[in-house]
Structure 1
């Protein structure tokens, strides 16, 4: 699965099922920016990278040749693409499992793709896929194990910023789909008001830095702007020691779940394939706030829920 952060992390229980039933060595094919994070998944033995872009036939044949030399027994395609199906076929992997679409004829074990209906959580859909070949697990948790060196760096960073573990909140105001974003002015107001009672860390990618500069004006009010200043391992470490994450429906929500941090996630009623039923934070202790339109969620409502939960 070489697409985005959240989608990738939500295959972890399915990987655990494969590991348990087949006692397998597991290699994941991931987006390059997820490589170091993928190494933190206990069930993963090897990470190969494959960019989520259109590749030339030469690149496809070259990557297929690499996979063929490794003599894999099984390929599981969690995210159906023509390229992925073609590569699994050209790699001569005996058992190729996935969904019956986008050149699904190249697979020899497949199920109907009903994810767009959002009847299940994405974790459950992934488990449903591997169940087709008898893989199952009772441990449905999302879990990564950060290297001790990374945890030490995080602790040193917290000290340098006078941040105490479990005494700050992380806000993640951006996501890949602008239609799923709570208005930025609301996040700014929320950060300012929270900063009166607890320190606030704002996280985001380099692509978000321009819009995120508005948070710089809140520095004197207990708000630390780290947008574009952390890689995924650093973000995972910062989340691990946070009290809670407040976010739109985005990848950092699922990363927080993987490091055992509770979340408050804001949803609007978008199209069915983006439903909170499918993409809500996985596990116990999380809060979903949902309105027909995400901008209808009021700052006061989020503040009240947070204060009831942690103050």
Structure 2
């Protein structure tokens, strides 16, 4: 999810460079709904990327759609041989991407130095589109919430006993064991939030229900649990709601959804874990707080201090 959302900067530069053009985003069906109301996009075309790579018939089905659209320019931010083949076979005249994985099918390309570069992923994607754009990135992005999802979240929040101070949201799960933080430490952070007068809400995917339950069992007071209950559109709507004051989470998809939506994050990043450096993947909203250490070294006190800064709470 995060790598797709990091294209919001590039989408903005493309729209500002081509204000009258029809801009279409091709994205996996798992994340495509997040972009359907984006003001800089005219169309979102979704695909099942796994089928796209494994089933020739499905590949040609997508190729037919792309070719029919008669695009003049393609920018491939996810360097993959089948995506490069797609834009080539679709007859797209200008094809920009990274110089790897069948990049001979592209005619505008840059070296993929993202692993070595010290810049943020959003800036790397801007560098990619700068091959075909005349505008510089102004540092802003658009990430609207789906209007129907906003109404559903408002209705759900309205029936909960939410504190006037708002909600501290906690996401305790991670698919990567090296990025996980102990359940008892998340519980201690939740206890701190409750003691300060905030409501606490746990979120996560269906596969993270046991993780959330382990946290809840160690919390001293009542919290709300929406783990496994939110679509991506509803997750975005939650973080657009002003009652969501902060998110506490390890490096994960909800971190990106939160800070891009306007909710600051106390983000716990695992040091020495590939693909988890905050200089490349961390929040850049100016309001979030990042702790970058081996996960076992991150204390409850440090996480609560980050929350205090975000929430402007006294010690």
Q: TM-score with structure 1 length normalisation?
A: 0.92
1:35 positional shift? 2.5
Q: Verify the 8 A CA contact 1:13 1:123 in the aligned structure 2.
A: yes
Of 265-274 and 121-130, more deviation after overlay is shown by 265-274
Give runs of ≥4 in structure 1 deviating > 6 Å. none
Task: List aligned pairs for 1:131-142, cutoff 5 A.
Answer: 131-142=130-141
Match for residue 35 of structure 1? 32
1:96 positional shift? 0.8
Match for residue 76 of structure 2? 77
1:68 positional shift? 0.3
Equivalent residue for 1:245, pick from 235, 244, 247: 247
Inter-partner Cα distance in structure 2 for 1:220 and 1:155:
27
**What SS does structure 1 have at the residue aligned with 2:213?**
helix
Distance of aligned partners of 1:188 and 1:164 in 2 relative to their CA distance in 1, 3 Å threshold: closer
CA-based RMSD: 1.9
Gaps of 5+ in 2: none
1:81 positional shift? 0.9
In the comparison of the two structures, how many residue pairs are matched?
A: 306
Deviation per CA, 1:101-139, whole angstroms, max 9, x where unpaired? 011111111100001114110000000001112343443
Of 267-276 and 171-180, more deviation after overlay is shown by 267-276
Of 182-191 and 109-118, more deviation after overlay is shown by 182-191
Q: Verify the 8 A CA contact 1:215 1:225 in the aligned structure 2.
A: no
Q: Verify the 8 A CA contact 1:192 1:218 in the aligned structure 2.
A: no
Q: TM-score with structure 2 length normalisation?
A: 0.91
Match for residue 58 of structure 2? 59
Q: Verify the 8 A CA contact 1:245 1:263 in the aligned structure 2.
A: yes
Inter-partner Cα distance in structure 2 for 1:248 and 1:135:
37
Q: Verify the 8 A CA contact 1:256 1:263 in the aligned structure 2.
A: yes
Match for residue 17 of structure 1? 13
Match for residue 127 of structure 1? 126
Match for residue 221 of structure 1? 221
Distance of aligned partners of 1:135 and 1:308 in 2 relative to their CA distance in 1, 3 Å threshold: same
Match for residue 181 of structure 1? 180
Match for residue 294 of structure 1? 295
Of 168-177 and 243-252, more deviation after overlay is shown by 168-177
Match for residue 281 of structure 1? 283
Distance of aligned partners of 1:29 and 1:307 in 2 relative to their CA distance in 1, 3 Å threshold: same
**What SS does structure 2 have at the residue aligned with 1:182?**
coil
Inter-partner Cα distance in structure 2 for 1:274 and 1:219:
28
Equivalent residue for 1:255, pick from 243, 254, 257: 257
